[in-house]
Structure 1
């Protein structure tokens, strides 16, 4: 397997993992809390979902079926500023917006080939390789998903269900992993 093949395989799996973390946080959010920011001028879960979806459609919509020469990673119809305005969409609609955005991004990743990674993709007039564009979005999307996790974690307080190894649970987790793998530590 080439490095490019390994990279595409890894980034596809990792971004599905980032999406799953976000979904696990959103599952703990009460419907009435989607529009609740942690501070004035902060982003609510609704704003984060709308912004992520808008970015994903804009950056990756032209590549859903594979690389397309001359593709622009900023669609003309996108209104980025509106993504940061608090709307009135209900929880079910916001989940659908979230899902649709991720579907576009993951479809594009799934259709890219190793040869595509060095090809040009323009975002707001700036030329990137497809690899650079992916890395830019990995950082961007992960950052917003972790904002979302912090937001929901704060809103849940003591009722939060961890998305990782619980505090004080590392030794038990490691022991379980070793016994599953047949390792002796």
Structure 2
């Protein structure tokens, strides 16, 4: 088949899945860059009375990733539910005082479920129905919903850790005043 004979959906589906996976792997790395800067006694610290600690955010991400994507790890099946009855979402927001090692395990386990499900999806699956809390979405809509959701929580982690570390924070992006140098280095790499 000539590539120009392919339909937009045949082209866009694989591109979308590859792009979402790449961006979410980058988001995972961003979160890990923040989490590695936590001291052992920081994992359960909140910034306000109703705030979430890093531990709680990880518990919630872990629970959400399993609930939304656990059934899709071996590919899409009709009737898939993205909110199993066994999930206790409210419990995810109670700090259970897990150790940093256990929190890291949950972090990696949740992301493995989510990224594994993305890997199992096919472009044809993107238009298929997926139910979350009784509301029907396409798999594409559910994926976009999670991109927003997970990004929000990872950026909460970054802000939390940056605030806790103060002047000892090591930036995860271009340092202040470093844009010109960064741009010059990028230009030099492109040759």
Shorter chain as normaliser: what TM range? over 0.9
SS in 2 for 1:122: strand
Supply the distance in 2 between the matched residues of 1:98 and 1:167 (Cα, whole angstroms).
Answer: 29
Q: TM-score, normalising length from structure 2?
A: 0.94
State the distance in 1 between where 2:17 and 2:89 align: 28
2:123 is the alignment partner of 1:123: no
Question: How far apart are 1:17 and its partner, in Å?
Answer: 0.5
Per the TM alignment, residue 2 of structure 1 is displaced from its structure 2 partner at its CA by 0.2
Q: Secondary structure at the match of 1:36?
A: coil
Determine if the alignment matches structure 1 residue 87 to structure 2 residue 96.
Answer: yes
Instruction: Number of aligned residue pairs: give it.
Output: 182
Confirm or deny that 1:73 pairs with 2:82: yes
For 1:165, the equivalent position in structure 2 comes to 174
Q: Could you tell me which of 143, 153, 165 is aligned with 1:144?
A: 153
Structure 1 residue runs of 5 or longer lacking an equivalent are none
Q: Which runs of 4+ in 1 moved over 3 A?
A: none
CA deviation after TM superposition for structure 1 residue 68, in Å? 1.4
Alpha-carbon shift at residue 31 of structure 1 (Å): 1.2
**Matches of 1:161 and 1:101 in 2, distance apart?**
25
Q: 1:104 aligns with which of 102, 113, 121?
A: 113
Normalised to the residue count of structure 1, the TM-score between the two structures is 0.97
The alignment's C-alpha RMSD in Å is: 0.7
Task: Quote the offset at 1:75 in angstroms.
Answer: 1.4
Q: Residue in 2 aligned with 1:53?
A: 62
CA displacement at 1:108 relative to structure 2? 0.2
How far apart are residue 134 of structure 1 and its match? 0.2
Q: Could you tell me which runs of 5 or more consecutive residues in structure 2 were left unpaired when the two chains were aligned.
A: 1-9
The whole-number CA distance in structure 2 between the counterparts of 1:92 and 1:153 is: 21
